[in-house]
Structure 1
Amino acid sequence: MRYVIGVDLGTSAVKTVLVNPQGTVVCEHSEAYPLSRPEPGWSEQNPEDWVQGTCDSLRRLMEKSGIDPSAVDGLSFSGQMHGLVLVDATGQVLRPAILWNDTRTTAECRKIEATLGAMLTEIARNRALEGFTLPKLLWVQSHEPEVLSQASLFLLPKDYVRYRLTGKYAMDYSDAAGTLLLDVGAKEWSADIAGAFGLSLSLCPELVESFDLTGTLLPESAAACGLLPSTKVFAGGADNACGALGAGVLGEGKTMCSIGTSGVVLSYESNKDLNLEGKVHFFNHGEKDAYYIMGVTLAAGHSLTWFKETFAADLSFDELLQGVASIPAGSGGLLFTPYLVGERTPHPDATIRGSFIGMDSGHTLDHFTRAVLEGITFSLRESIEIVRESGKVITEVIAIGGGAKNETWLQMQADIFGADIVKLESEQGPAMGAAMLAAYGSGWFASLAECADAFIRRAEVYTPQPQQVETYDGLFGLYQEVYGQTRELNRSLAAYRK
């Protein structure tokens, strides 16, 4: 039996999965690592923690599975997007990595918009948001010029780990698309964008496809990982691109909804010239010459976690959700907006905050819990509607992440989205997408689509209920009003936040 490994480098932990040619995960292991917040709004990690965590996870994966290392054909990566890693000419890291959820770069975002205007969305296809990589580079340029002057390359998180394992630099198109430095349609670094800010293109690593072979393991890395130096290492992709692969989003009309800490609606796109003017993200896919449209809710699962820890800390998530099915759609006239940390789609607003609207003394914990689920799902529907407005017909959505674990929430998604919701038999998310890239790169399949057919199996389908759809259509209109009605109020309240 042959195997491949998918490595998912997340924000809080690295997960490794060992997969056979039937797409069965025969073993998995995770290793956590710390997150640093040295200043309000800052979010950083030590890249060495990623390397150590990845090597430890791979070694323990191999130990737990008992598989002979010679049976592993290759491995590939899924990685948290946007994080800035700067290395010098010897490959040494120059400062802690600035992560995707770091919000220190608002001034740099406004500078990018003022300098580039419409050219930004014409070339990079995305708006300047605090999470992206170019604003972080400009922050270092402004606040730590001595660091940038020493930098030989910038890398994204998984690319640094892969460099440490193989000794070779590269960045795939799907992750590069989240930097704001890539000409997304032309698939090349943009000299116009880099030049506008005095950045040299020499800072940008070589671009490769997600399934390209980028080397084999260095002897010392192989020993640390419990693998052979001959193990092939493939480039990998951005976590959302790999999540799309792992959900089988490979073809027109294919759409997924992923609910984790944040929430993502992602739809396959083949038209490289599509320009939605930054209303949603437009990124390169892990499949060659393919793209995807993506909308993001910043605090999706995070909203539910916050609610549980704040108001029902003594309950498990299963206990918290137990009574939700008995509450009618609309939660007795209670609306929740999941803007706990600002919002991304369709309102790129770092100041907006969440709210419960319509509370009365008849509302119970179950009403509030259902309202939180509905609010998260309404927010994701806003992304669904933007995708539909681009001309796509969405009649089916593949659910992955935490939102795919509760039957009531799955049915709610069907009713709010007005589309069938598909639950997968074995949902491994981005880790499975990374394994698929290794399987395809290793020659197991003639295409990624063929790999998806072998690896991905449906478990259940939840269909919209007409009466619930009608109720939620009315409530969705009310939900959409809340942002406009509370925007200025939240801007005024921002001065009082500590």
Structure 2
Amino acid sequence: MYLLGYDIGSSSVKAALIDAETGKCIGTHFAPESEAPIKALQTGWAEQDPSCWWSYIKESTAAIIAKSKIDTADIKAIGISYQMHGLVAVDHNLDLLRDAIIWCDSRGVPYGEKAFNEIGAEICLSHLLNSPGNFTAAKLCWIKENEPHIFDRIYKVMLPGDYISFKMTGEISTNNEGLSEYILWDFSTNSVAGFLLDYFKFPHSILPDIRPTFSTQGILTSKAAAELGLHKGTPITYRAGDQPNNALSLNVFNPGEIASTAGTSGVVYGVNDIVAYDKQSRVNNFAHVNHSASSPRIGVMTCINGTGILNSWIKRNIADSSITYDDMNILASKVPIGSSGISILPFGNGAERILCNRQIHSSFHGISFNTNTRNHLIRAAQEGIVFSFMYGIEIMKEIGLNINKIHAGNANMFLSPIFRDTLASVSGATIEIFDTDGAIGAARGAGIGAGIYRDNNDAFATLRQISTIVPAQDRTPYLEAYALWKDRLVHELSIS
């Protein structure tokens, strides 16, 4: 008996097949081999063709089935994780109307801010726990105001995971966690935020039907099964945005538990059992995968858009083309903590929530042409990413979250010893690294939704811890480097 999980990212789509009884991963595959293209038609814009996601899913599925040689009838459930806040629009014929506006696109900022100011901070924060900001509803408003010929033809809007579920099942649905990504979930009434739909003048019918996160979202149609090489009728039983799903993947379900990722973007995600918010709306609050009105579970998230993308930019433009990421880590280790006074602000991938949706771009500070080398820049980039995490963690602490332990997967920036040691030492938190990822987590989530597992403890009983990273005994060099970085950030904010 097997479970299949997909993680639909902006860089790639990954599929994972696990043995439901042992929890062992049977096989994984991601596509494309190089990073998926993102269209940037203007500064601050980011779009992708949703049909490409479907192609990558087909490629990944075929590779796993060929490698594992299992009978696909033994796959009992499918789970889907996806890049959050994307906007997919289809017409009454269920055809795509335009490319998806994805998570790091910042064109919705003025519309979200206008709504926040006109509706009022008190109503938005007490009901939505966020400013409408640059989330999916604000992106839809951009279409309404700038592409009315498209808006008028919209039958339904979907998040990326909703769209993939629709391609698999023919049914258009979402859940309360997904609607909170739109910033269209009213936590005070535990229902769709009708007042925000009315403010934007969106027809209420534009939203998908609502299903529980852990439930049958539909079953594979014969057409989808044929395209994917899977068994007709296989149920899709779980769907969540990538950051709530990453927390699930690390068995983070309850208050005080923290998960982190550092891929293209970087995230620290904690679970709160009280409905609380930052008065400046610098952190994001979403319904966690196990949220309910009677037992609140709010995912409090700080997201840095320019994380792994800064590291890959350094690799492409500063490091030699033959150098690997492992080589970069070795080069960075040759210079001292603090990179001899160089600070890099990693905010070059769109507006940043922790900066009140300001877009200040990336900047390099303190470079000496006589003494600094590329090694300093490589280390300063990793440290700058960590320090941006710490800046967000300080905001999270202001609203009552305790962050003493961080769970993370063994992937992306967490493969770097410098990144891990810097994060542990500047935050004072112990980091626990686990052998899992978003696609494996989505497969386990599908097992919960299908009733194969009793609960999350049953589903994650076999989750394997790889390593533990503790803060340095002397944290002073890390804290001094962070203080300098923060001073330079404050200066940039004051002049931007």
CA contact (8 A) 2:113 2:131 kept: no
**1:161 alignment partner, one of 149, 159, 164:** 164
Alignment partner, residue 478 of structure 1: 484
- Give the drift of 1:347: 0.7
SS of residue in 2 equivalent to 1:322 = helix
Q: Distance in 2 between matches of 1:4 and 1:363?
A: 50
Alignment of 1:382 onto 2:386:
no
Alignment partner, residue 314 of structure 2: 307
Q: Distance in 2 between matches of 1:485 and 1:348?
A: 15
Alignment partner, residue 11 of structure 1: 10
Matches within 5 A, 1:102-117: 102-117=105-120
CA contact (8 A) 2:126 2:188 kept: no
- Residue type of the partner of 1:25? C
CA contact (8 A) 1:250 1:449 kept: no
**2:459 alignment partner, one of 448, 451, 462:** 451
- Give the drift of 1:158: 1.3
Q: Normalising to structure 2: TM-score of the pair?
A: 0.93
**2:202 alignment partner, one of 199, 203, 210:** 199
- Give the drift of 1:437: 1.3
Superposition CA RMSD, Å: 1.9
| Structure 1 outlier segments of 4+, above 4 Å | none
SS of residue in 2 equivalent to 1:81 = coil
**2:211 alignment partner, one of 208, 212, 228:** 208
Matches within 5 A, 1:290-329: 290-314=297-321, 315-329=323-337
**1:393 alignment partner, one of 391, 398, 402:** 402
CA contact (8 A) 1:85 1:93 kept: yes
Alignment partner, residue 410 of structure 1: 420
Matches within 5 A, 1:325-344: 325-344=333-352
Alignment partner, residue 98 of structure 1: 101
Q: Distance in 1 between matches of 2:110 and 2:472?
A: 46
Distance 1:364 1:113, change over 3 A: same
CA contact (8 A) 2:382 2:419 kept: yes
Q: Distance in 1 between matches of 2:175 and 2:29?
A: 25
Alignment partner, residue 366 of structure 1: 375
- Give the drift of 1:358: 2.2
The count of corresponding residues between Structure 1 and Structure 2 is: 483
**2:222 alignment partner, one of 203, 219, 224:** 219
- Residue type of the partner of 2:27? C
- Residue type of the partner of 1:135? A
Q: Distance in 1 between matches of 2:350 and 2:13?
A: 26
- Give the drift of 1:457: 1.4
- Residue type of the partner of 1:478? L
- Residue type of the partner of 2:440? M
Q: Deviations over 1:170-203 (max 9, x none)?
A: 1122222111222145432111111112112111
SS of residue in 2 equivalent to 1:230 = coil
Q: Distance in 1 between matches of 2:405 and 2:290?
A: 21
Alignment of 1:124 onto 2:128:
yes
- Percent identity of paired positions between Structure 1 and Structure 2: 27
- Give the drift of 1:37: 2.9
Alignment partner, residue 346 of structure 1: 354
Q: Distance in 2 between matches of 1:357 and 1:35?
A: 29
Matches within 5 A, 1:260-271: 260-271=263-274
Distance 1:138 1:224, change over 3 A: same
Q: Distance in 2 between matches of 1:326 and 1:39?
A: 39
- Residue type of the partner of 2:470? T
SS of residue in 1 equivalent to 2:133 = coil
- Residue type of the partner of 1:72? I
Q: Distance in 2 between matches of 1:72 and 1:350?
A: 45
